Chain A
Amino acid sequence: MNEIVIKQNLAPNVWLMGIYSPQVAKKAKPGQFVILRVTENGERIPLTIADFDNEKGIVYIIFQVVGKTTSLLSQLNPGDRIIDFVGPLGMPYEHSPEDKDYLFIAGGLGIPAIFSKVKMLHSEGKNIDIIIGGRSKENIFFEDELKKYCNNLYISTNDGSYGKKGFVTDILKELLESGRRYDEIFAVGPVPMMKAVVDITKRFSIKTLVSLNPIMVDGTGMCGGCRVKIGNEVKFACVDGPIFNGFEVDFDGLMKRNSYYQDVENISYKEHKCKIGLGE
């Protein structure tokens, strides 16, 4: 159980892992996430379920090394076990059967959050466009995988080294301003990106969903660490979300909450890097 069966480097510091966890694979649905712990002294971190294979009992995650825990995770190899791997958590991404046209927008590490849903909607014969974006060409991954399941794949890089120079929102704006319309838009990525997407789609009154990434501890609704303001209500992203109506999300509040532990996280990561000889 929880054995790593596949490990693949997708981009600098970005890894794909397949984990043998039949119980999670059996119940997983697009939009859900897992919580995992890498060592006995480790913290619990949430990661989106990028894909799942019920028959083989494998759950796929894609993560970027951003701190100590993801660094420790990236050092594991096929055959190693993840000590705690729990899920699937959160509410699945539900879509209305009558909707036909979808636009998925994934900035940075947003791809794992859209992949399984894209596959599912493709199998139902929906029209799907996708915009993915990254800092630079080397940060773009999964291009070929996504192409299999969509009509159009648009790519942007901040430095213009691949695809269109700029942000995913530049492409979004162009599409909408040229008259392209969608029944539903799903955006996932850094909070400022999601906020920027919503600012645009609001003008065109297109239903827009976002997947939020607040700080979590248990992931089962018992602590409220992940609370976010949605409309006038406080919701727990781990049980009520992580997917919410983008027009109702208080993105500024979320950004502030996400930055709370940044200083101590840096301490933890720095100490870890010193120990494994990667000191800056």
Chain B
Amino acid sequence: MQNWIGGVEKLDVLKRVPIKEQEPIERIHNFDEVCLGYTPDEAAREAQRCLECKNAPCVKGCPVEVKIPEFIRLIKEKKFKESYLKILETNLLPAICGRVCPQETQCEQNCVRGIKGEPIAIGKLERFVADWFRQNCEFEFSKPQPNGRKVAIIGSGPAGLSCASSLAKMGYEVTIFEAFHKLGGVLYYGIPEFRLPKEVVEWEIENLKKMGVEFRTNMIFGKTFDLEDLKQEGFDAVFISSGAGLPNFLNIEGELLNGIYSANEFLTRINLMKAYKFPEYDTPIKLGKKVGVIGGGNVAMDAARVARRLGSDVYILYRRTEAEMPARKEEIMHAKEEGIKIVELVSPVRFIGDESGHVRALELVKMKLSDPDSSGRRSVKPVDGSNFVFEADNFIVAIGQSPNPLVKKAIPDLELNPNGSIKVDENLMTNIEGVFAGGDIVTGAATVILAMGMGKKAAESIDRYLNAKKHENL
């Protein structure tokens, strides 16, 4: 892998500087972060591989257009603080993005180095810089002149946080309303500690507070407050970013049996309520020896890896093959390293329970992949008569989430798309004037960075809208 000349490690420009990770055998016994991150020297060496392209295709692959070659050059020069501040110009949450973005389909996919060798580890470098800054510097922010206008943001997930940071930089007075008792949305309740430590999320949110963003927890839109309340409080615009929090179920026989969790419930108990620390924490979780996780996305991987850490033998049950799984390759690899088995080409038929109402098994049918259609997508269909019974003590359903329906109940006039997501125009404004929306409540369950990109775009639209309105009033 690496050449050593006179004790100095020679850089192979085609290969990434490897990154340290906790060994699988250790990490399945803890919730500590799997990836340990680069050291300053390793980061500087990886940065050396960057060609600093003039047209920077990597930047075009980033939904918030981080100035990638510029921040990487500053790492080469070991100016880590400056590098962090460079990222901050377009992305306020680099410690999070560096960890959870699917860089392989975004910035890193476009990296010129990737044509012949491995692309630059942009995500890992972004993460390094943010972690280095967090450990070595104090976040300072010179507040801009307040412009006297107030914006309410509903939901403190990635879209809301990024919208808030953009607006705060422009001088808006921003208040984020969060239904839970903790901030961060899916960053807190969804993504486990071993992928995204909660202290990182909390640190990034503290920085937003330093920028003057106000947070109000335990505020449920449509229940605790509504649009009328926001108007009365003098908010000039509203951004709805309440996410796709409604778990999809399979709607098959036996789904109400004990021992079957939605991934949302399972991960909320673990991440938000810290049930893995029961009885030190009061929220319980119960998991038997063998667990089946239904689905193939990142949420399924997270749920499976959590279950593994609780000591269970875990099987991922997926209707296509591993190659079609929407989860990040890195997460699938991590899951497999941790001993999680993947059962491909199976689809649930019905859950089977015992007398006490506890699930004991899942009847599955084998699936067959068809040849790719004109769009290149392969569909699956069940193989007649191939049904079989898969026994397990628990099942976790991770087949996706839908937009939260509480918002529509709160604003009956709000126009929705047929799938229940909020309909917005090219400026992310809903059919109600001054009310904008973004993130998963508009796109359906997508990625953290797409939500952040929309939050940023919404901030720009809100600014344009309110400026235009001001002129009208003059």
Residues of A near any B CB (own CB < 8 A): 23-24, 27, 37, 39, 41-44, 68-69, 83-89, 217-218, 220-225, 227-229, 234, 239, 250, 253, 256-257, 259-261, 264-265, 267-268, 271
CB-CB under 8 A from B220, the residues of chain A are 86-87, 89, 220
Q: Is the CB of B256 within 8 A of A217?
A: no
CA distance A224 to B247 in the complex (A): 7
Indicate which residue in B247, B256, B278 contacts A222 across the interface (CB closer than 8 Å).
B247
Residues on B with beta carbons closer than 8 Å to the beta carbon of A42: 281-282
Instruction: Evaluate contact between A69 and B282: CB separation under 8 angstroms.
Output: yes
B405: interface (CB < 8 Å): yes
Q: Is the CB of A268 within 8 A of B284?
A: yes
- Please report the C-alpha to C-alpha distance between residue A69 and residue B269 in the assembled complex, in whole angstroms: 16
The answer to whether A87 touches B223, judged by C-beta atoms less than 8 angstroms apart, is yes
Are the CB atoms of B405 and A239 closer together than 8 Å?
yes
Asked, given contacts A44-B273, A257-B258, A267-B279, whether A222 binds B245 with beta carbons under 8 Å apart, the answer is yes
Q: Enumerate 12 A-B pairs (CB-CB under 8 Å) in ascending A order.
A: A37-B181, A43-B283, A44-B181, A88-B223, A217-B265, A218-B180, A221-B245, A221-B404, A225-B261, A227-B249, A253-B256, A256-B258
Closest Cβ of chain B: how far from A97's Cβ, in Å? 21
Residue of A nearest to B226 (CB): A27
Residues of chain B with a CB closer than 8 A to A264's CB? 278-279, 284, 286
**Given A250-B256, A264-B279, 4 other A-B contacts at CB below 8 A?**
A44-B273, A220-B406, A225-B265, A227-B255
Query: Are B245 and A256 in touch, CB under 8 angstroms?
Result: no
Nearest 8 pairs of A and B residues by beta carbon:
A256-B357, A223-B265, A222-B245, A43-B282, A86-B218, A264-B284, A43-B283, A84-B181
Neighbour of B406 across the interface among A23, A221, A223, A267, CB < 8 A: A221
Min CB distance, B160 to chain A, in Å?
16
Docked pose: A39 CA to B264 CA in angstroms: 23
B405, A41: Cβ atoms closer than 8 Å = no
- Distance from A270 Cβ to chain B, minimum over Cβ atoms (Å): 9
Complexed CA–CA distance, A267 and B286 (Å): 13
Q: Which residue of A lies closest to B267 (CB)?
A: A223
**Which of B248-305 touch A at CB < 8 Å?**
249, 251, 255-256, 258-259, 261-262, 264-265, 268-269, 273-274, 277-284, 286
Complex alpha-carbon distance, A41 and B180, angstroms: 15
Q: How far is the CA of A227 from the CA of B261 in the complex (A)?
A: 11
Q: How far is the CB of B212 from chain A (nearest CB, A)?
A: 21
* Interface status of B85 (Cβ within 8 A of chain A): no
List, in ascending order, chain A residues with CB within 8 A of B225's CB.
23, 27
**In the bound complex, what is the Cα–Cα distance between A68 and B279 (angstroms)?**
11
Question: Is there contact, CB below 8 Å, between B356 and A256?
Answer: yes
Cα(A264)–Cα(B259), bound, Å = 14
Task: Give Cα distance in the complex from A261 to B219, angstroms.
Answer: 28
Whether B262 contacts A223 by the Cβ 8 Å rule is yes
A85 to B269, CA, bound (A): 18
- Whether B273 pairs with A217 at a CB distance below 8 angstroms is yes
| Most B Cβ at <10 Å: residue of A27, A265, A267 | A27
Query: Roughly how many angstroms separate A268 CA and B268 CA in the complex, as a whole number?
Result: 19
> Is residue B467 within 8 Å, beta carbon to beta carbon, of the partner chain?
no
Say how far A132's CB is from chain B's closest CB, in angstroms.
29
The winner among A24, A86, A234 for most chain B CB atoms within 10 A is A86
In the assembled complex, which residues on chain B have CB atoms less than 8 Å from the CB atom of A87?
Answer: 220, 223-224
Q: Which residue of B lies closest to A265 (CB)?
A: B284
Taking the closest CB of chain A, its distance from the CB of B421, in whole angstroms, is 16
What's the least CB distance linking B214 to chain A, in Å?
15
When chains A and B are docked, how far (Å) is the Cα of A169 from the Cα of B259? 33
Docked Cα-Cα span, A24 to B277, in Å, equals 31
